[in-house]
């Protein structure tokens, strides 16, 4: 079982196209707006044409999540 698979299962992420960075699987804790979060680095293995939530077209990496 890969680190990416374990992280995806622990976060209940169903999308197999998200690959977590195996060199950085121990995620750092960051403070964002006065709340501490664990931040995972991942890569989406395909380039979506548009955001499936808001419909924004993906023009030159304009979709950020």
Residues 41-56: tens digit of each pLDDT:
888 888 777 777 777 7
Domain count for the chain, please give it.
1
Q: Say if residue 65's pLDDT is above 60.
A: no
Domain span at residue 52 reads 2-64
Dihedral, CA of residue 43, residue 38, residue 3 and residue 41, to nearest 10? 20
Q: Which residues contact 38 (CB under 8 A, 6 or more apart)?
A: 27, 28, 29
Whole-structure pTM value: 0.57
Counts of helices then strands in the chain (DSSP H, E)? 1, 4
**Are 40 and 18 in contact, with CB atoms under 8 Å apart?**
no
User: pLDDT (tens digit, 9 = 90+) per residue, 9-44?
Assistant: 888 988 888 888 767 556 778 898 999 998 888 888
């Amino acid at each position: 079982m890969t680190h990416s698979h374990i992280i995806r299962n622990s976060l209940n992420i169903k999308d197999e196209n998200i690959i977590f960075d195996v060199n950085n699987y121990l995620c750092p804790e960051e403070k964002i707006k006065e709340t501490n979060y664990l931040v995972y680095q991942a890569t989406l293995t395909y380039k979506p044409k548009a955001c499936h939530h808001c419909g924004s077209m993906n023009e030159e990496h304009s979709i950020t999540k």
